[in-house]
Amino acid sequence: MTHWFHRNPLKATAPVAFNYYGVAAGPAASKICSDLRSSRARLLELFTDLSCNPEMMKNAADSYFSLLQGFINSLDESTQESKLRYIQNFKWTDTLQGQVPSAQQDAVFELISMGFNVALWYTKYASRLAGKENITEDEAKEVHRSLKIAAGIFKHLKESQIPKLITPAEKGRDLEARLLEAYVVQCQAEAQEVTIARAIELKHAPGLIAALAYETANFYQKADHTLSSLEPAYSAKWRKYLHLKMCFYTAYAYCYHGQTLLASDKCGEAIRSLQEAEKFYAKAEALCKEYGETKGPGPTVKPSGHLFFRKLGNLVKNTLEKCQRENGFIYFQKIPTEAPQLELKANYGLVEPVPFEFPPTSAHWTPDTLAAFDLTKRPKDDSTKSKPEETVKPVKEPDIKPQKDTGCSIS
C-alpha cells in the first residue's frame, strides 16, 4: 500500500570554515579543524543526495558529531564543558519560518540543529520509499524503522539537548518544545500507518485494525493540538495535514469497527458506524482540498487523488452497502441515532521511538590536541562571528515527481 506524507523543508545553514588562525597551533589541531570542515560539508551534501541510504547517513552523521563533541564535552568525561564550546558562531534557518536564520555562538546549538536535519532526512527518506509503486515488505520495514529513528532523534533533542542551550529557543522556532513534540508524534503516527497497511494486507482481525486506526487518529490529533498556539501564517498547512489525517484514520476506525459489529450480528450499529466513517471521510476529502489551497511550507499536491485516499472511500462505500443489504434481507435492525463510541485500545503494533544518543567524542581529540587550541590568541575583531549581512541560501531539495497512481509526495 502506498502512503502520502507532508514534509516541511530542510533547515539551511551558513558555511562554517573552522579556521582559527593563531588559535589552532600545530598539525593535530589543524587536522581536527580540516576534518570538521570536510565532514560537515559531506553531511550537508548527503541531505539532498537521492542515492543516500540510512547507513551512509549514519556514518556521515557520526563522523561529524563525534568531532563536534570535542567542542562541547571535556575529554575527562566530567560534567565540565569544553573550552571551545563558544568559539564559533553557527547560523541556521527554520523549517517553518522561511529563510530568516537564528544564530548562536554555541557548539550545542550546532549539534541540535544538525541533528534536527538528520531526523528530517530520515522522514524524507521514508516518504520517498513509502510512495513507491508496489512497495516490498522489506521496504515497508525500512519506512517503519526510519520514522521510528526520526522520532527518537527529535525526542532526544527535546529531552536531553535543548535544556543545555544557554540561549533558550525562540518562540515558534524549530528548537521549541511544541514543535519538537509535534515532529515526534507525527513520526509515530506515520509509522503506525505502515503497521495498519500491513495488518490490512495480512487480513488481520477488523477489531485490531480499527483499534490501530483509532490510536493513529489520536496521535494526529495530539500533534495538531500541540501546534494550535503557533502563528497560523506558517503552521496552517502543516495543521491541515494533521487534521485531514486525523479525520482519515477516524474514518478507517469506524469502517473496520463496523465490520466487527456486523460479524457480531449487530447490523444496525454496523450501519451507523459506517455512516460515521462516511462522514469523517467526507471531512477528510474537504480538508484535502483546503490543504492543496493553503500557502505555507510543504509540498503542493492533491492528497485526495492519491491511491491511499481513494481506496478507503471505496471500502467505506462497499461495506456500508453490504450492511444495508444484509439488514434489509436478514436482520431488520433499527439504526441507532447516536454513533458508537470508539473506546478501542490496540494491544499490538503501537510505535515507540527508537532510543537515540549522539556518538562519543572522536578518538582524534586528545589532551594534547585540545591544548593546541590557545584561546588567548583570538583576534579582537573575531572573524569567527557571523557577519550581519551574511545570508543563508535555502536548501535545493530534489523534486520528487509522484509515480503513477501512488501516494508519493514531493519530499
Per-residue model confidence (pLDDT) at position 60: 98
Res. 410: pLDDT tops 50? no
Q: Which residues pair with 102 in a beta bridge?
A: 92
Which region, left, alpha or beta, applies to residue 296 given φ > 0 means left and ψ of -120 to 50 means alpha? left
Per-residue model confidence (pLDDT) at position 164: 95
* Residue range 8-16: mean pLDDT, rounded: 94
* pLDDT greater at residue 304 or residue 311: 311
Q: Mean pLDDT, the chain, as a whole number?
A: 86
CA 384 – CA 391 distance, rounded (Å) = 15
* Residue range 322-330: mean pLDDT, rounded: 68
Tens of pLDDT along 41-90? 999 999 999 999 999 999 999 999 999 999 999 987 666 899 999 999 99
Does the pTM surpass 0.85? The reply is: yes
CA 20 – CA 383 distance, rounded (Å) = 9
Tens of pLDDT along 189-210? 999 999 999 898 889 999 999 9
Res. 257: pLDDT tops 60? yes
The vertex-70 CA angle with 68 and 170, nearest 5°, equals 55
Per-residue model confidence (pLDDT) at position 401: 43
Name which of 103-112, 329-338, 384-393 the model is least confident about. Answer: 384-393
* pLDDT greater at residue 2 or residue 371: 371
Res. 301: pLDDT tops 60? no
Tens of pLDDT along 371-383? 999 998 887 655 4
Res. 407: pLDDT tops 60? no
Q: Name the grid cell of 310.
A: 481513494
* Amino acid letter, residue 193: E
Assign 155 a pLDDT band (cuts: 50, 70, 90).
very high
Assign 134 a pLDDT band (cuts: 50, 70, 90).
confident
